Structure 1
Amino acid sequence: MPQLNPAPWFAILLFAWLVFLIVIPPKVLAHTFPNEPTLNTEKTKTEPWNWPWH
């Protein structure tokens, strides 16, 4: 059984890790959330629900 030549597979492995570690993280971290969390200490008054059958 012939042995595989490691040269092209090693280059593919290195290129894949290069993509995963250098190219993808900035693209993922560039996304922004539509609603940024705000610090709101004001309490809102809650009303009980008006159930029609109760």
Structure 2
Amino acid sequence: MPQLNPDPWLMAMLTTWLTMLLMLTKVTNSNFTNQPTDQTKQKSKTPSWNWPW
């Protein structure tokens, strides 16, 4: 039964998993320079429209 032979796909699967885990750890450990601001503190008053007619 050739589908039970792990030789052709085992190394590809392990390499893919290790690559994904490495990328995941790089992304989670990165520092984002653009910090989000709190929108509740900044309330901007939108001016009303003055229609000419």
TM-score normalised by L of structure 2: 0.53
Which consecutive unaligned segments of at least 5 residues does structure 2 have?
none
Cα offset, 1:33, TM superposition: 5.5
Inter-partner Cα distance in structure 2 for 1:6 and 1:17: 16
1:24 and 2:23 aligned: yes
Point out 4+ residue stretches in structure 1 off by more than 3 angstroms: none
Cα offset, 1:48, TM superposition: 0.5
> What residue is the counterpart of 2:45 in the other structure?
45
Inter-partner Cα distance in structure 1 for 2:16 and 2:10: 10
TM-score normalised by L of structure 1: 0.52
Letter in 1 for 2:48: P
Aligned Cα RMSD in Å?
2.9
The 3 A distance-change label for structure 1 pair 48 and 20 is same
Q: How many residues align structurally?
A: 50
The 3 A distance-change label for structure 1 pair 28 and 50 is farther
